[in-house]
């Protein structure tokens, strides 16, 4: 097959990337759902080029990551990574079918065009060139599932790459939309669901009962005070907006009537930490405070309890030094010296935790991600293709 493959100009190759992107957009795989459909398509594409691939399954084997190597089995290769799931479209005011790519005025519309099937399309479109090139170091594809609901598979995917191949890859480029600028830092993220349980009673008995709403309000107040403490005395990092860690309560629900002491209340809050703040310690302090409140309220109501459940394992932050070799390497591919940091979470920190030198760099703007009428500019897709082509040249 290699003998029949030719090198194509970037613009022509970007047209192939558009064709592939249209096919990827047609798979409406949301975070939390099985990604078998889009994984099957990608694996069939790899099979056409005789590329062996490996899967990393979830426990139920309903979802899978894909990784593969193109090129020789030597050290210091480069991983190109992206996620196959997207966020929901329900309730958003879309002007087109979100799962049918539409071109208008130099933009490609559809759910996942920029976040982040555009990057995956660039990788796959350049596979023929990778096969035809005389690569001296390998390129790896790494495609995950359930990134959008908590980066569930990033650690397992990164670890599998390290464990599967006899050689050791060095760099990992996570293609989240950054307008092809290098991102060296991201905040960590965790989400906790807190359930307070007590017993119902007539509201006139409030002083001798334990209202879960009252107690939940105390927990919310603790979280707000803790954030203020971090703002005043915690770490500061001006690369991020805001330049401190945050604690945010996004859901608060409890009670069934105005004259019944609430016997159940639920709050959901998230924690987004700077790389130098200790997220585990902060969550531990919160759980200690919950235990204090339980001990106090059980003196009145023995049934009273507070339980906390993490929605997903804490997503570790990314803090790659600006002078790390991977930064200079990727800057040479982008022809840009700009270095940024982002407040959203991604799988980049998970790759770094598994021993890769990791950065974020991909086509499209994060401003378009998760919105109605998400799009990627065709120019950005072309830049993404050129980026991968330069990588092929650099490793050949």
Same domain? 148 vs 199: no
Alpha helices (H) along 193-271: 212-233
Give pLDDT, residue 270: 96
Q: Write down the pLDDT at residue 8.
A: 62
C-alpha distances in Å from residue 99, one per residue of 6, 114, 248, 361, 370: 31, 13, 32, 24, 14
b/e sequence 85-121, b meaning 16+ C-beta within 10 Å: bbbebeeeeeeeebbebbeeeebbbbbbbbbbbbbbb
Task: Report pLDDT for 4.
Answer: 37
Are 239 and 328 found together in one domain? no
* pTM for this prediction: 0.92
As a residue count, the chain comes to: 396
User: Does 223 lie in the same domain as 175?
Assistant: no
Answer whether 266's CB lies under 8 Å from 251's CB.
Answer: yes
Low pLDDT (below 50) residues in the chain: 1-6
- In 10 A of CB 59, how many CB atoms? 6
What is the CATH number for 171?
A: 3.40.630.10
The total domain count for the chain is 2
73 and 181, same domain (yes or no): yes
Q: Please list the alpha-helical segments (H only) found in the chain.
A: 10-25, 36-48, 118-125, 127-132, 154-164, 212-233, 279-297, 325-334, 348-353, 378-395
- Going from the C-alpha of 80 to that of each of 86, 100, 143, 235, 342, the distances in angstroms are 18, 25, 8, 32, 19
**Residues 94, 210 within the same domain:** no
Per-residue model confidence (pLDDT) at position 65: 98
What is the greatest pairwise CA distance in the chain? 84
Last residue of a domain, one of 261, 279, 310: 310
- 13, 55: one domain: yes
Asked whether residue 306 falls in the same domain as residue 222, the answer is yes
pLDDT for the residue 182: 98
Q: What is the CATH number of the domain that holds 269?
A: 3.30.70.360
Q: Residue written as tokens 């979830």? A: 58
Q: Which domain holds residue 256?
A: 188-310
Q: What is the pLDDT of residue 9?
A: 77
pLDDT digits (tens, 9 = 90+) for 2-30: 333 345 677 778 899 999 999 999 999 99
Q: Do 6 and 152 share a domain, yes or no?
A: yes
- For position 173, what pLDDT does the model report? 98
Domain end point (choices 280, 310, 340):
310
What DSSP designation does 278 have? -
Please tell me whether residues 150 and 268 are part of one structural domain: no
State whether 237 and 112 are in the same domain.
no
What's the CA gap between 19 and 319, in Å, rounded? 35
* Of 310, 341, 375, the domain-final residue: 310
Cα–Cα separations (whole angstroms), residue 357 to 105, 170, 180, 183 = 38, 6, 18, 12
Q: How far apart are the first and last CA of the chain?
A: 19
Rg (alpha carbons) of the chain, rounded to whole number: 24
Same domain (yes/no): 35, 167:
yes
pLDDT at 12: 79
Query: Is residue 198 located within the same domain as residue 148?
Result: no
What's the pLDDT score for residue 3? 35
pLDDT tens track for 36-89: 999 999 999 999 999 999 999 999 999 999 999 999 999 999 999 999 999 999
């Amino acid at each position: 097959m290699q003998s029949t493959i030719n090198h194509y100009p970037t613009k022509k190759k970007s047209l192939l990337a558009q064709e592939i992107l249209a096919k990827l957009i047609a798979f409406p795989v949301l975070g939390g759902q099985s990604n078998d459909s889009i994984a099957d398509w990608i694996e069939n594409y790899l099979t056409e080029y005789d590329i062996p691939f490996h899967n990393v399954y979830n426990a139920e084997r309903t979802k899978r990551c894909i990784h593969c190597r193109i090129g020789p089995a030597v050290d210091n290769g480069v991983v190109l990574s992206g996620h196959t799931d997207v966020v929901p479209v329900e309730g958003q005011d879309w002007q087109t079918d979100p799962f049918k790519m539409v071109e208008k005025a130099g933009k490609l519309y559809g759910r996942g065009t920029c976040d982040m099937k555009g990057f995956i399309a660039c990788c796959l479109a350049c596979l023929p060139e990778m096969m035809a090139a005389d690569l001296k170091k390998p390129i790896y594809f790494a495609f995950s599932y359930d990134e959008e609901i908590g980066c569930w598979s990033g650690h397992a995917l990164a670890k599998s790459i390290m464990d599967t191949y006899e050689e050791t890859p060095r760099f990992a480029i996570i293609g989240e939309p950054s307008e092809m600028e290098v991102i060296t830092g991201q905040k960590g993220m965790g989400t906790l669901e807190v359930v307070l349980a007590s017993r119902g009673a007539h509201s006139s008995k409030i002083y001798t009962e334990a209202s879960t709403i009252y107690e939940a309000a105390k927990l919310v107040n603790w979280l707000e005070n803790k954030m203020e403490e971090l703002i005043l005395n915690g770490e500061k990092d001006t690369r991020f907006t805001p330049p401190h860690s945050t604690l945010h309560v996004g859901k608060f629900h409890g009670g069934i009537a105005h004259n019944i002491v609430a016997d159940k209340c639920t709050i959901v809050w998230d924690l987004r930490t700077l790389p130098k703040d200790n997220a585990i310690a902060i969550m531990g302090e919160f759980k200690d405070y919950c235990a204090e409140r339980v001990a106090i309220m059980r003196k009145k109501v023995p049934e009273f309890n507070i339980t906390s459940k993490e929605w997903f394992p804490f997503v570790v932050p990314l803090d790659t030094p600006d002078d790390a070799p991977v930064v200079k390497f990727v800057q040479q591919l982008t022809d840009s010296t700009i270095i940024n940091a982002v407040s959203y979470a991604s799988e980049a920190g998970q790759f770094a935790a598994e021993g890769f030198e990791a950065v974020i760099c991909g086509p499209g703007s994060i401003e378009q991600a998760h919105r109605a009428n998400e799009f990627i500019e065709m120019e950005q897709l072309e830049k993404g293709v050129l980026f991968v082509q330069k990588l092929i040249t650099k490793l050949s």
